[in-house]
Amino acid sequence: MEELLISYIKSKIAVTDEEMETILSYFISIKVKKNELLLTNGQSSQRTFFVAKGCLRIFFISEEGQDSTRYFAFENQFATALVSFITSESSEEFIQAVEDSEVYYITHQNFYSLLDLIPQWEKFYRIYLEIAYVTNTKRLMSFLIQDALEKYRQLLNENPIIVRRLSNKMVASYLNISQETLSRLKSKL
């Protein structure tokens, strides 16, 4: 599983074998059970996760008790409550394993230590932030300018793994629509 992490890092930055060893020494491998929470509302996000196997979900819960999913991270993707990770303020998000998962994590402190130790890690961080910005902006734009059918079609085109691997409840939460609406959309297509 470590090969996935190595491959991902090497796809973003050029590092020597020695630098890669240093980077990997800061990551810790853990197995998490389905539904296990890795971060809860009110905690400060002190870890960023790389998914080697499984799926993590980042979500909010409204005052009415409704959950809204912001992001799913499958194999070969990073996930964290980024605002809290950057600011060290308490998070309004939860991070949950939606499948039995194997993940690597790096702490906030170690992530920032790598910025001082490995010059290319700064480029890695910039790329990471750019990917997060583009992903979040596209999601926001879809909520502002697309109806439910357009959002579902876009999801099928850009991220079909979400529909294939996750429950209708999770997909509806991601699209910010009811399960009933999702069922109607599926029957139309």
pLDDT on residue 143: 84
Q: Is the pLDDT of residue 1 over 80?
A: no
What percentage of residues in the chain have a pLDDT greater than 90? 86
Full-model pTM: 0.92
pLDDT on residue 64: 86
Q: Is the pLDDT of residue 189 over 80?
A: no
Structure confidence at residue 65 as a pLDDT band (50, 70, 90) = confident
Cβ neighbours of 62 (radius 10 Å):
8
- Is 132 in contact with 80 (CB distance < 8 Å)? no
Per-residue pLDDT, averaged over 131-137, amounts to 92
CATH number 2.60.120.10 given to 1-114: yes
Per-residue pLDDT, averaged over 78-93, amounts to 94
Per-residue pLDDT, averaged over 110-116, amounts to 96
pLDDT on residue 186: 87
Average pLDDT of every residue of the chain: 94
- Is 53 in contact with 31 (CB distance < 8 Å)? no
Q: How far apart are CA 97 and CA 35, in angstroms?
A: 5
